[in-house]
Amino acid sequence: MGVVNVTPDSFSDGGLYLDPGAAIEHGRELAADGAAILDVGGESSRPGAAPVAIDEELRRVVPVVEGLRGLEVDISVDTSKAAVAAAALDAGATIVNDVTALRGDPEMAALVADRDAGLVLMHMVGDPRTMQVNPEYDDVVAEVRDFLAERLAAAVAAGVEGSRIWLDPGIGFGKTDQHNFELLRGLDRLVALGRPIVVGTSRKSFIGRADGSEIDERLGGTIATSILAAAAGAAVLRLHDVREMAEALMVATAVLG
Active site members: 204, 238
Contact, 104 vs 80, CB < 8 A?
yes
The Cα 73–Cα 7 span in angstroms is 22
- Cα 251 to chain centroid distance, Å, stands at 24
Three-state SS string over the chain comes to: CEEEECCCCCCCCCCCCCCHHHHHHHHHHHHHHCCCEEEEECCCCCCCCCCCCHHHHHHHHHHHHHHHCCCCCEEEEECCCHHHHHHHHHHCCCEEEECCCCCCCCCHHHHHHHHCCEEEEECCCCCCCCCCCCCCCCCHHHHHHHHHHHHHHHHHHCCCCHHHEEEECCCCCCCCHHHHHHHHHCHHHHHCCCCCEEECCCCCHHHHHHHCCCHHHCHHHHHHHHHHHHHCCCCEECECCHHHHHHHHHHHHHHHC
